[in-house]
Amino acid sequence: MVRARIDAVDLRRPDLRRPFPRHFARRLTGHTVVALDRRAKYLVARLSSGETLLMHLGMSGSFRVVRDARDRRTSRTAAAGLEPHDHVVFHMSSGRAVIFNDPRRFGMMELVPPAKLPQHPVLSKLGPEPLAADFDAVTLARACRGKKTSLKAALLDQRVVAGLGNIYAVEALHVAGLSPRRSASTLATASGAPRDAAYRLVSAIKQVLEGAIQRQSMPAYRDARFLVYDREAEPCSKTGCRGLIRRRVQSGRSTFFCPACQR
């Protein structure tokens, strides 16, 4: 999409998680995608119009890029090649179509005027990116100082660290040897300085995410086994540990951990 012009937009339904913005297709048509970035779990497409197209995949959303099937004479998209849950089709000047598919319709798209982007309610409250240099033990300890919530809940708080999801929070806690049920405040001293656990956890988060990114380049990455996630009652994979993986529900999400080596 970058450096290509949006020639047309087909909306195949009036909404996703919520209705599309007013005049959505018209405000996109004819404008070039200047840059495409990611912030936490949001895709941020900056347009030549000055507006920003903010997108979220939800739980089941995905994009695919295909050769454009639009008939330029009739301005209609050929039905062949489109799937039942293809809700938005971006027709690009490059001759490609970028199609958003979302069976459960939990995704979202909205257009944000330039002046409102820094104060946007979603983006303005996000914490540091987990793989960024400014996410370190000092930053994490400061964010968790005095928090009475569980460590697992703190990691899912996008104000503490942006974009870390349930699965990889669980995996990182196991690598760091920390219980998901311990208090988040235990990462910091009374003055807010990082304890050893904070250093271990930051290192584990980066290790787990970098490993996940590398696995996505493999043909069978979706079949990769996790260390603890979705492995209830199985033996712990850590060398020398004889514990069995347990499952608990925290804040409505499944948590998997080893009670023997995660303290």
Q: What is the CATH number of the domain that holds 60?
A: 3.20.190.10
Query: Is position 74 within any domain?
Result: yes
Q: Do 149 and 252 share a structural domain?
A: yes
pLDDT of 14 above 90:
yes
pLDDT of 91 above 50:
yes
Tell me what pLDDT residue 251 has. 87
Query: Is position 111 within any domain?
Result: yes
Query: Is position 55 within any domain?
Result: yes
DSSP notation for 170-224: HHHHHHHT--TTSBGGGGB-TTS-B-HHHHHHHHHHHHHHHHHHHHTTSTTGGGP
Query: Is position 128 within any domain?
Result: no
Distance CA 235, CA 247 (A): 13
Tell me what pLDDT residue 184 has. 98
Of the three residues 85, 116, 147, the one that is the final residue of a domain is 116
pTM flag (> 0.85): no
Confidence of residue 74 (pLDDT cuts 50, 70, 90): low
Distance CA 227, CA 231 (A): 8
Total domains, the chain: 2
Of the three residues 116, 145, 175, the one that is the final residue of a domain is 116
Q: Do 29 and 107 share a structural domain?
A: yes
Q: Do 168 and 228 share a structural domain?
A: yes
Q: Do 172 and 86 share a structural domain?
A: no
Containing structural domain, residue 17? 6-116
Q: Do 146 and 79 share a structural domain?
A: no
Q: And the tokens for 30?
A: 């004819």
Q: Do 144 and 245 share a structural domain?
A: yes
Tell me what pLDDT residue 117 has. 86
Q: Do 144 and 109 share a structural domain?
A: no
Tell me what pLDDT residue 221 has. 47
Bridge-based pairing state of the strands 70-71 and 42-47: unpaired
Query: Is position 132 within any domain?
Result: no
Confidence of residue 75 (pLDDT cuts 50, 70, 90): low
Query: Is position 123 within any domain?
Result: no
Distance CA 20, CA 11 (A): 9
**Residue 180 sits in a domain of what CATH number?**
1.10.8.50
Of the three residues 86, 116, 146, the one that is the final residue of a domain is 116
Q: Rounded mean pLDDT of 198-216?
A: 94
Q: Are 219 and 228 in contact, with CB atoms under 8 Å apart? A: no
